[in-house]
Structure 1
Amino acid sequence: MMNITVQKERMVLSEIGQIILVLSYVLMVPIFSTNEQVKYRAFYAHWATLILSLSILVLAFVIQDLSIDYVVQHSHGQLPFYYRVAAVYAGHSGSLLLFMAAMSTWVFYAVICHRSLIDLKRYAFVIGGLLTVLLLSSNPFTHSTTVMPSQGLNPLLQDIGMMIHPPMLYLGYVASIVPFLYVLSCDKSIDNEALLKRILSASLVILTMAIVLGSWWAYRILGWGGYWGWDPVENASLLPWIMQLGLYHAVIAKQKRWIYILSLMGFMATIFSTMMVRGGMLASVHSFAESPPVFYGLGAYWLLIMGMVLYHMYRHIPLRSQEAFAIRLNCLLAVGITLFLSATLLLPWMLSLFNLPPLVLSEVFFTKVMLPMVFVVFYGLVSYLSVSRTAMGLGVVLMLVAYMLSDHLLLAIAIGAGALVLYTYYRSKHWNLSHMAFVLMVLLMLINGHLTSYEDIVIKMGDSLTLMGDTVVMESVESTKSPTYLEKKATLNIAGTYYYPAIRYFPLNDMAIAISDTRISWFKESYVVMSAEVEDGWSMRIYHQYGVRWIWGCAMLMALGFIKRRKV
């Protein structure tokens, strides 16, 4: 009787959440009022109801309210408090609600800063479409027909990265709504770049750091042995970042035509990435579960946005004006790379619809396509600057030295060109932290890709192997138990250095994951993954990575460079 009473009390939370979410939808009607005071009060109330509905969903996860179906599907009583909070955005419903709350918050900030910047009627149209998709296909407050919790949060997501990476990514993604609504509201009269620049600077800092944190998370947990795997979900996260980066440069250069184009296409890219990832259509180890209603709902919404974009680009796009070659090149690259990555996401899915052989796009494929674009970017950077003969000579010398050491022509050219850019920036008055960090990051990535190697071994307890001149000894395998998983941890002695890779089995999810162990020197990292137990012992892979921490450090410096940027 007590359990039934508690359950009825908790159902009140579900009802309140439903009412507030519907209220946020209803409050968009007064936004179309001609009375300015009524319109803005309705918008503020609508924003508050979105934030409140998200807070109620978080509370439902914290208290483990099993009257809500979404809580039943994605949470479990054995999860620690902080993982229950993270489980809010582990599925379609919570992630879309967080997505919209963040989107509304950016618009709220823009309206507070400059009330006439955005036409709120257009905002109501845009957010109304997403709310319709959420309420019809993935309502987060739907009542549950059972009180039995499911498997809970995926073990791969039970990590500190889950607490930080997704919310930052969402917050950075949806900032694209402000320039989108801005250019729709002002048509050709684009004359308020200061606020756009401030919002883009903040979103690029957040989005860059979020991508770096995601790279760090995957490096530790997935056992790929690398910081970037060209995974479809990883590539999807690049689309809004690339478009916002191109738009940021267009705003700095005050190129109204490109501001218009990239603002419209940037939001379209954000919705496209959301559709592919949140709909679960991408084959990825960290993709969402497949949900056709969500995918088709977001797909219809994306087509609607694309129609709006094409119409406004045809009717209102500003005339071409004088623009620096490097700026035009930067904007064209942003559009070109975005279209290329979008095609790589769409093609495998489209082939699967017709039962055609799957299209496997390997890391080698992406490297071959993207590397020439790196040279184009370097050329664009150099075109900003006055290149001296000394810089040209230094670049040629380093190119020859790199080729002699690596016997890799493209790597040598990239090192020479990168050194030319860095030296020219250092000696010129156009010192730019973001540009220099970007160039150095790309060079480190190329060097890492050339030097990285791995070896697979099978070893028993007490065995000793010789690998690349180093002695490898398996000293022990210990079993431990926690409230949520069983763990087997190996003690591996490699040339006097101890590594402790492990495998964790989660009975609730019937899933095992590898926990890697890494040893770091100033540039090299040895990375050990314990794969599985086999007849002849334990299967392991030993990676040798180079400069990964330096790559992440350069990315962080690049993000910090957006905070305060000197005029170029």
Structure 2
Amino acid sequence: MIVELGHFALILAALVGVVQMIVPLWGAHKGWRGWMAMAHPAATTQFALMAFSFLALTYAFVVSDFSVRLVFANSHSAKPMLYKISGVWGNHEGSMLLWLLILTLFGACAAWFGGNLPRSLQARVLAVQAAVSVAFYAFILFTSNPFERLEFPPFDGRDLNPLLQDPGLAFHPPFLYLGYVGLSMAFSFAIAALLEGRVDAAWGRWVRPWTLAAWVFLTIGIALGSWWAYYELGWGGFWFWDPVENASFMPWLLAAALLHSAIVVEKRESLKAWTILLAILAFGFSLLGTFIVRSGVLTSVHAFANDPERGVFILAILGVFVGGGLLLFAWRATAMEAKGVFGMVSRETALVTNNVLLAVSCFVVFVGTIWPLVVELASARSMWQVGGSLIENPFYTMGLFSKPEQVSVGPPFFNAAFTPFFVALAVILPVGAVLAWKRGSLRRAAAPMLPVAGLAIALGALAFALQTGRSAMGPVGVVLGVWVVGGAAMDLWLRTGRGAMGNRLSRLRRLPRADWGKFTAHAGLGITIFAIAALMAWEDEDIRVAQVGDRWDVGIHSIQLNSVDNVDGPNYFAERADMTVFRNGREVGHLYPEKRTYPVAGMPTTEAGIRNGVLRDVYVVLGDAQSAGGWAVRSYIKPFANWIWGGAILMALGGFISLSDRRLRVAAGAARRKPEGVPAE
């Protein structure tokens, strides 16, 4: 009965969404306050109904109600409770229900905390947000019903994908969806502003908190996914340029660009058109990520579904909202005339350069991700079916393909094509952050950064001198990391003005939280850049077949295989190795890597043994038993691995600190607003 009530609540939420989509929008167009006021209760009601629907599905998983098809396919009575709950969103249908829950949550938050917005703008924002919700209601109700019953309930379920039975993956999707869906608010604000025909400094301030919140959640979600891949998959890496990894990284890059662009709109009323375009594209790439994960067009260990029909539906949603948004953007181009002018050397120019580098980086990732699909489609057949007719493939006609092609775009392409743009971004970031608005002096901005540059170069030279036979990536990473972190610290110090040290320290403590958030986020970026370069340049690796009792060296460490035993888990059995780690001949710890088999799912997984350290990780993976005796073992020394996620935590923390600044959360004051009914500029 509870399951049926959850399904009924989902249908009611969809109907409320239709009302919220139409009534406030028409009321804003006509200036009818009563109709615009309908948006508030509708948004709250939508969220309440979706929360009940989601809790109903969660209840079915918790009590192992295998009469529900989704529970049968993704749960098991012996599964730990944490993974019963995470199984709700560890599949296509449940994850879409979570997507809708978060979408309605953001809409409700816009109603609850948007009282300082102009009435007509808020009504339009909530109507656009509801339109996005309605599209996904249609998708889930017509193609992905999570409440479908089985005619003959089985005794037990098929279990959740073993790779997803992990704490990192239990929390990774909700945070990622908070980021993905959070960008829908930036999209709704952009479309609402275009409908109003007004984009001004107040709009730039209103859109920033929503974009920042989405960016923070995306950062946490990506970091959790990277951490999971590092210790769970046994590949020994933290990022593989997998299509689904890229699907979350692309909107993260555009959201970062949107954040910085909105600052220019707020401070200088420039870059209006570019900021609106970024808001549309950032949400568009979120939808593109949803399409990649659920359509099956690109294979990935992270993919939820392999259903072309669902993929076409999501592609239609992408086309309607992004295509419609771009058409509206072109129609309202005259309403986005920039007011502020600035010189070639100014903070505005630095932020424009920042935006260009981030956008081009996103485009590089997009091309590398989608290129295999393009080549496969172009070379798959010599004849294409269009409607009821067959036409010759033009690529065959031009002689570009003589047979079907399969192309793989891997890390070498992404590393070579993406890295230069991010290096350039890191180089300009510290100086650009201290340039004056409108017209600045490069010499004046660079002068305080000279000690930071000297320190960065000195530490890079020291790293180069200490390493032997290694690539230059490590020293370059040291230089860039110290440059970005030191530049962020110097930017913060310069904000204290001049005077005695005690007075400056006192002013430093009183600086706005947004300044401290900016420092923390930029420092986190610098730490992450350094850690990635250090790990890739200074990693040690050993692959061998080891017998019980064997001891071998990896870098300055030695590892000894003591035993391999069979162990049983709550819903798996495993081979677990006991390994002793030595450093300079002294025992420093034990590692217990495993090879697990989940009998219900019939799927093996690898659990790496990791000895975490501040400066390095010792990372060991147990492979298959060999016919001649012994086990395949891969051993790594991974320097500064934990600094990667430490940097990501600092970036997210910087965002939260900025969000706690009341100046950022409260929209522009009434003195900066135009009275309702003022015609568009």
TM-score under structure 1 length normalisation: 0.91
Match of 1:21 in 2: 10
Q: Does 1:435 align with 2:522?
A: yes
Match of 1:212 in 2: 223
Match of 2:176 in 1: 169
Secondary structure of the equivalent of 1:564?
A: helix
Match of 2:507 in 1: none
Match of 1:282 in 2: 298
Match of 2:509 in 1: none
Change in Cα spacing, 1:79 to 1:405, as seen in structure 2 (3 Å) is same
CA distance in 1, matches of 2:44, 2:636: 53
Match of 1:372 in 2: 420
Match of 2:321 in 1: 305
Q: How far 1:521 sits from its partner (Å)?
A: 3.4
Correspondence for 2:614 among 513, 522, 532: 522
Offset from partner CA, 1:431-458 (integer Å, 9 cap, x none): 7221122122202211111011311111
Q: How far 1:138 sits from its partner (Å)?
A: 0.8
Offset from partner CA, 1:339-388 (integer Å, 9 cap, x none): 22222222223334444433222222221112211222123312333223
Q: Does 1:82 align with 2:106?
A: no
Secondary structure of the equivalent of 2:163?
A: helix
Match of 1:3 in 2: none
CA distance in 2, matches of 1:118, 1:335: 31
Which structure: larger Rg?
2
The question of whether the paired residues in 2 share the 8 Å contact of 1:239 and 1:338 is answered with: yes
CA distance in 1, matches of 2:2, 2:74: 17
The question of whether the paired residues in 2 share the 8 Å contact of 1:168 and 1:206 is answered with: yes
The question of whether the paired residues in 2 share the 8 Å contact of 1:527 and 1:542 is answered with: yes
Secondary structure of the equivalent of 1:284?
A: coil
Secondary structure of the equivalent of 1:208?
A: helix
Match of 1:455 in 2: 542
Change in Cα spacing, 1:125 to 1:421, as seen in structure 2 (3 Å) is closer
The question of whether the paired residues in 2 share the 8 Å contact of 1:57 and 1:88 is answered with: yes
Q: Judge which range, 193-202 or 20-29, deviates more.
A: 193-202
Change in Cα spacing, 1:498 to 1:18, as seen in structure 2 (3 Å) is closer
Offset from partner CA, 1:288-317 (integer Å, 9 cap, x none): 231222211111111112211220221124
Q: Does 1:384 align with 2:437?
A: no
Match of 2:437 in 1: none
The question of whether the paired residues in 1 share the 8 Å contact of 2:555 and 2:637 is answered with: no
Offset from partner CA, 1:385-430 (integer Å, 9 cap, x none): 3223444444444444444445644554453344344434433415
Match of 1:95 in 2: 95
Offset from partner CA, 1:111-130 (integer Å, 9 cap, x none): 22225325133233222111
Correspondence for 1:562 among 636, 642, 655: 655
Match of 1:7 in 2: none
Correspondence for 2:263 among 244, 252, 261: 252
Q: How many residues are matched? A: 557
Give the letter aligned to residue 20 of structure 1: A
Change in Cα spacing, 1:42 to 1:554, as seen in structure 2 (3 Å) is closer
Give the letter aligned to residue 433 of structure 2: Y
The question of whether the paired residues in 1 share the 8 Å contact of 2:66 and 2:157 is answered with: no
Q: How far 1:220 sits from its partner (Å)?
A: 1.4
The question of whether the paired residues in 2 share the 8 Å contact of 1:226 and 1:545 is answered with: no
Match of 1:544 in 2: 637
CA distance in 2, matches of 1:365, 1:15: 50
Alignment of 1:106-145 (within 5 A): 106-115=106-115, 116=119, 117-119=122-124, 120-145=126-151
CA distance in 2, matches of 1:412, 1:467: 22
Match of 1:493 in 2: 580
Match of 1:351 in 2: 375
Runs of 4+ in 1 over 6 A off after TM superposition: none
CA distance in 2, matches of 1:288, 1:83: 16
Change in Cα spacing, 1:422 to 1:42, as seen in structure 2 (3 Å) is closer
TM-score under structure 2 length normalisation: 0.77
Match of 1:71 in 2: 71
Give the superposed CA RMSD: 2.5
The question of whether the paired residues in 1 share the 8 Å contact of 2:164 and 2:170 is answered with: no
Match of 1:532 in 2: 624
Match of 2:602 in 1: 510
Q: Does 1:361 align with 2:409?
A: yes
In structure 1, the gaps of 5 or more residues are: 1-11
CA distance in 1, matches of 2:18, 2:241: 43
Match of 1:6 in 2: none
Match of 1:4 in 2: none
The question of whether the paired residues in 1 share the 8 Å contact of 2:295 and 2:306 is answered with: yes
Match of 1:235 in 2: 246
Change in Cα spacing, 1:260 to 1:405, as seen in structure 2 (3 Å) is same
The question of whether the paired residues in 2 share the 8 Å contact of 1:258 and 1:331 is answered with: no
Q: Does 1:147 align with 2:165?
A: no
Change in Cα spacing, 1:470 to 1:50, as seen in structure 2 (3 Å) is closer
Q: Does 1:189 align with 2:189?
A: no
Match of 1:267 in 2: 283
Secondary structure of the equivalent of 2:574?
A: strand
Match of 2:674 in 1: none
Q: Does 1:480 align with 2:480?
A: no
Correspondence for 1:224 among 235, 241, 253: 235
Change in Cα spacing, 1:487 to 1:186, as seen in structure 2 (3 Å) is same
CA distance in 2, matches of 1:469, 1:563: 39
Secondary structure of the equivalent of 2:199?
A: coil
CA distance in 2, matches of 1:346, 1:259: 25
Secondary structure of the equivalent of 1:360?
A: coil
Secondary structure of the equivalent of 1:64?
A: coil
The question of whether the paired residues in 1 share the 8 Å contact of 2:241 and 2:411 is answered with: yes
Change in Cα spacing, 1:489 to 1:420, as seen in structure 2 (3 Å) is closer
Secondary structure of the equivalent of 1:427?
A: helix
Change in Cα spacing, 1:242 to 1:108, as seen in structure 2 (3 Å) is same
The question of whether the paired residues in 1 share the 8 Å contact of 2:243 and 2:292 is answered with: no
Q: How far 1:466 sits from its partner (Å)?
A: 5.8
Match of 2:185 in 1: 178
Q: How far 1:562 sits from its partner (Å)?
A: 1.5
CA distance in 1, matches of 2:176, 2:557: 41
CA distance in 2, matches of 1:163, 1:416: 36
Instruction: Using the aligned pairs only, state the percent identity.
Output: 27
Give the letter aligned to residue 555 of structure 1: A
Q: Does 1:319 align with 2:382?
A: no
Offset from partner CA, 1:86-136 (integer Å, 9 cap, x none): 111111111111111101111211122225325133233222111111111
Change in Cα spacing, 1:140 to 1:424, as seen in structure 2 (3 Å) is closer
CA distance in 2, matches of 1:52, 1:516: 39
CA distance in 1, matches of 2:81, 2:223: 25
Give the letter aligned to residue 232 of structure 1: P
Q: Does 1:342 align with 2:366?
A: yes
CA distance in 2, matches of 1:470, 1:161: 28
CA distance in 1, matches of 2:524, 2:553: 39
The question of whether the paired residues in 2 share the 8 Å contact of 1:107 and 1:177 is answered with: no
Match of 2:386 in 1: none
Secondary structure of the equivalent of 2:605?
A: strand
Change in Cα spacing, 1:537 to 1:66, as seen in structure 2 (3 Å) is same
